[in-house]
Each structure stands twice: as C-alpha cells, then as structure tokens.
Chain A
Amino acid sequence: MAYDYEKSLRPGKLPHIWCPGCGHGIVMKGLIRAMDTCELDLKQTAIVSGIGCASRLPGYIDSCTLHTAHGRAAAFATGVKMAKPEMTVLVVSGDGDCTAIGGNHFIHACRRNIDMTYLIMNNNIYGMTGGQFSPCTPTGALASTTVYGNPDPTFDIAKLAIGAGATFVARGTAFHAAQIDKLIAEGIKHKGMAVIEILDDCPTTYGRRNKFRSVIDMMKRLKDIAVPVAAAAKMTPEQLEGKVLTGVLHKEDRPEYTEQYAKVIQRAQGL
C-alpha cells in the first residue's frame, strides 16, 4: 500500500511553491517518512526554517512550525529547544541560508551540540532570489551574480559541521530518495546536533545556466557524484576525484547542551 503522506500534511496548503523538477519535494517526503518512523508527536515537534525555497517546507507539515528570518533558523530553534527541551526540534535550511548569512548560528549550534536535527537542502544556488551564487556554488559555475564564472571556493557543509562540533553528520542526495528518510530518522534519534545535508537540484536557476538541459540531467549528476562511504573506502584518490561521500559521515557521543544546562540548574539549586 502506498505511504500516506497526507496524515502529516496540512489540509489545503498544497500545491507547494517549488518549481517542477525541484528536489525539495523529495526531501520533504523523506522528512515525513522519517518523522513517522521516529513516531514523533506532531504537537510536540517544532520545525524551524529560515528564508528561501527550502524554508517554505514547514508550512506544509502539520506541527508547530516557525518560518523565521534569513539565516537565523538555528538561533530561533535554540530558543525553542532551550525553553522547552522536551520538544523535538527540526530545522530545515538551504545552502545559502545555512552557510552564508546563517553560518555563525550554524557553527555555534554544532559547537553546543544542542539536540536538534538540521536538514540542509543543498542545491548550490540561491533559488528564491533568482539564482545568485551561494557559498556552495561550485567554483567556476554560472549564477546571476557570477556570469563570468564563480571565483569563490565552496564550502563542504559536512566538514564544516564536523569541525564545528556536530555529533552526527550525514549526507544524501535527492536522487537516492530511499536513503533520505533513513538518514533523517537516524539524525532525529541521535541525542545532539545532527546535520544532514541533502544534495539537491535547482533546475530553474542553476540547471538552466549550467548546461543541464533537463531535470533528468541534474538527477544524473547527483547519481554520478554520490559514493557511499563504504564503497569510497575501497577507492583510490583518483577514483574519488569529483565524487561526494554519502551516508553517515560522522557520529560521536558528547554531552548534549540542554542536558548540560539541566546540570547548571541543579548546581544553582544546590540539588
């Protein structure tokens, strides 16, 4: 029997705003399946987002949803989680939202290892504002503000998250749809800051400019560059050139922030 997504969706809020061929819908379905797998109580779940195409996702899911300001989702989510640690807090973000304007909040949420699941839909571009380059646009790629080719080096979100202290870091792609929900579910179950990057596609503002003639071309790119961690272990550096590792990239145990703060309260109260 087909999976019933509607039980988690808000009645009357579809169709969504995403363009035909955008991978965000695939990610949203993965998120819904993951929330279901984890048996989340939607009344006790907050989904927080910043600004951009990806950040419209919370509006469609029937939980406590907070669509905030550009780049600030992690900080809003920190306030929600600190004030009500019993809630499950999920953040959805785009690559520009997370790594450019939101970079500071993102790395500090990782550093604190606060218990939230931070989902980044990395489509390598600012979609909603019309295709300007982001910190995750490949060097040399074309964008509306890099018509001569992007001179900027790109961020590796997973490395950034690991370096900043996130205790669960995973990567998937919108092509490998079946894997998305497993990675997100594992992130939700993880106690601490879980970062899940999903390589995504924006046919409208990235694909058109960068010689991807169809959505299928963009999806093929995701299929071709993704290498599961286990497979990568057996590959040479030459074979891994231009590839991106997928799966769970990092997992460690470290004290979680709201639990640490609960200890502060105990000390202050002399308990």
Chain B
Amino acid sequence: MAKKVALMQGNEACAQGALYAGCNFFAGYPITPSTEVAEVLSIELPKIGGTFIQMEDEIGATAALIGAALTGAKALDSTSGPGMSLKQELLGYACIAEVPCVIVNVQRGGPSTGMPTGPSQSDMQQAMWGTHGDHAAIVLTPASCQEIYEETVRAFNLAEKYRMPVQIQLDEICAHMRERVVFAEPGELEVINREVPTATPEEYKPYDSSKGLVPPLASFGSGYRFHVTGLNKAADGFPTTKAELVDAEERRQIDKVLLNQDDIQKNDEYLLDDAEVVIFAYGSTSRSARYAVNELRKEGVKAGLFRPLTMWPFPEKRVAELAAQAKAIICPEMNLGQMVREVERVAKGNCAVSHIGRVDGEPINPGQIIDKVKEV
C-alpha cells in the first residue's frame, strides 16, 4: 500500500508527528504563529480518545501539561515568543520535577508583541536560559515540514527517555510553509515510551538514581503513591535542604543530558569534508544557506553547511572540530547574534567567525550569505 502523503504546513506536520509519537494530551493557549498545532490537535485528539484543552493562559497550559504528564500522558503544548516567556517558570518546574513533556515555540519577530506574523530566530538563547536556576535543556531545530514531523517524534522520544521537557524551536517560515510530508508507517520511526518502575509501590522512590541517571517515573493513578514538588528534593521526592542531596540531584539532572550528548545530538552536514568556509545555520535560514553553498561550489569556493537539529545541548565537539578545520564559520540567523555567541565560544579563536543578522521580518536570502562568504 502506498504511504500516506499530504501537503501541509510545518505546524500541521508538528501536530501529525506528535500523534505518531503517541501524544494523547494537548494543553495550550492560542498565539500566532503557532495556532495550527492546536487547531489540528483539537480535531484529531478526541478521535483517538485523547484530550485537548485550551487553557485560560499560557502558564495554565504548561501547568495542565505537567499535571497530565504525571498521570502518564504524552503531552504537548505549543506557543510563540511571548507565550514562551510566560511558560518559563513552569519549564523550570518540569526540569526539577523531571516531567516528560514537549513544548513547541514558533518564534516570531521582536520582543513583546513585536511582529506576530514575522519570522524570527530570536528565542534561541531563551530556549536555553529562559527559565531560572541551573538546569539542562534539550532543544530541537527542524527546517522542513518532513523534518518537523520526524523531529517532533524525536522530541517526544527524548522527553520520555530522559524524563524532562523538550522544546522544539521553529521559525514562522518553517511553521507556515507548505510542503509534501510522507507519513511514517507504524513501526517505521522509533517511538520510545516512558520507563515504568519495577519497584513495588511500597519501595518506589521517584528520584532514586541508584540504577541510573534517569529514574523510572510512575503515573498518578497507577497504584503508586508519591510526592512531586518544585523544591529541591531527595530520592523519595520530598523536599530537602541537605547540601549533599541538593548538590547530587542538581548535578544528576544536568548530567543526564551532558553525559548522553552522543544520543541526543543530531546534526545535518553538507559538503563539509573539504570545507574552508562553514556556514552554521538552522531552521529556515539553513535552506537559504544550502542554496548558497551550492552556488558557491559552482564558483569553486569550498563552502559547506553545518545544520544542528539539536541546538541545545550545543554541538560543541563538532563545532570545535570544524573551527580547527575551516578558515571561517559564518552564522546567518534571524536575530542580532544569538547562536553566533556559542560558535565563537567554542571556536576559541581557531577560525574567523562572522555573523549575518536580520530582524526586519524578512528571511535571510542566499545572496546575503554568498556576499558574506566572498567578503571573508
């Protein structure tokens, strides 16, 4: 039988990817340019007996997301810049309480209301540092509708595997462009489900790390009784201020990401083997960059594209290698210098690093990138 194929927007592909991953709960609050994710799931979730709820605000949506996830649901929330800012406190809660959930942020232009229909990539640092306290983050940056579909599945997998919130960062162009999406057959893409405890309800401790960095999470209502809090906690989930316990738990929550980077990292590399100029680009900008690389190659310029699909944790190892290999790394992005900071930090002066920033609501075009490459 032929595979199901459809022409759809990035936001719609995100919703379909979520359904493939087993998403059965959505809580959100409408905000442009993310609303199609909610609209599709409001139609599709009830069909499979899942739950869609439009909450009273963005904070309430993330709260409901976490509450649902604790009952065992695979839960998704979508929003855009200002909404993401509102969610930040509870993103921190999901980090410390180690609750698997996925949040999509379709970035829009400018601070505050800015340009609600304009594309932007200016929440890239917010994705890592937006919430409070020391924590790890997993942030994915797909660039096509097919990739959004598949990366949304991966986002759920990572959330469940590492028991933490995972963010998907889209830009308005990726969210609203229409492309052909080939739906995966059941079993074709890996779907990871939450590890459930083998301990008896009497023995169960929700943060017992004695058998690994990611303790199994029981579901409310499944026979296990346990306590969840946003306070620093001991292995049994109850608050503690004992220095050694707080320290160990804080470090474990970060280590579970940092020590598993090889599993979490995913990048796309194009013509990098002999590249003297590396273009570091993500989201819709990476599509202009690929075009630019092809044009430059025609002219004999050894250009290549590095496209991180996992933006956080930052692909330090590979970017450091590229900085040692290349003469220059160019970072085009629809902001005034967010990810280029990371590239510069990791390059440690081993190659020139330059930036192309655009914040006028227009995409970065291949010509701009080609000009910059020729300049350096």
Contacts and interface: CB of A to CB of B under 8 A. Distances in A.
Contacts of A264: 46
B221 A84 contact: yes
A48 B68 CA distance: 12
Given A82-B25, A264-B46, A269-B49, A67 B228 contact: yes
Contact of B228 (A10, A42, A66, A87): A66
A75 B220 contact: no
Contacts of A108: 55-56, 60
B92 to A, nearest CB: 9
A43 B68 contact: no
Contact of B223 (A43, A79, A265, A268): A43
Interface residues of B, number: 44
B221 A79 contact: no
Given A59-B238, A64-B225, A80 B60 contact: no
Interface of B is mostly: mixed
A58 B227 contact: yes
A64 B67 contact: no
Contacts of A105: 56, 59-60, 63
B56 A79 contact: no
Contact of B59 (A75, A79, A82): A75
Contacts of B224: 43, 64
Interface string A69-96: 1001011111111111011000000000
A139 interface: no
B227 A65 contact: yes
Which of B72, B221, B226 counts the most chain A CB atoms within 10 A? B221
Interface residues of A, number: 40
A217 to B, nearest CB: 32
Given A59-B227, A87-B220, 13 more contacts: A59-B229, A66-B227, A67-B231, A68-B93, A68-B230, A69-B89, A75-B61, A76-B67, A79-B53, A80-B67, A82-B51, A82-B53, A268-B46
24 contacts: A13-B238, A43-B224, A64-B224, A66-B67, A66-B227, A66-B229, A67-B230, A68-B63, A72-B60, A72-B90, A75-B59, A76-B64, A77-B67, A79-B64, A80-B71, A83-B24, A83-B67, A83-B68, A105-B56, A105-B59, A105-B63, A264-B46, A265-B46, A267-B46
Interface of B: 24-25, 27, 43, 46-47, 49, 51, 53, 55-57, 59-61, 63-73, 75, 89-90, 93, 201, 220-221, 223-231, 238-239
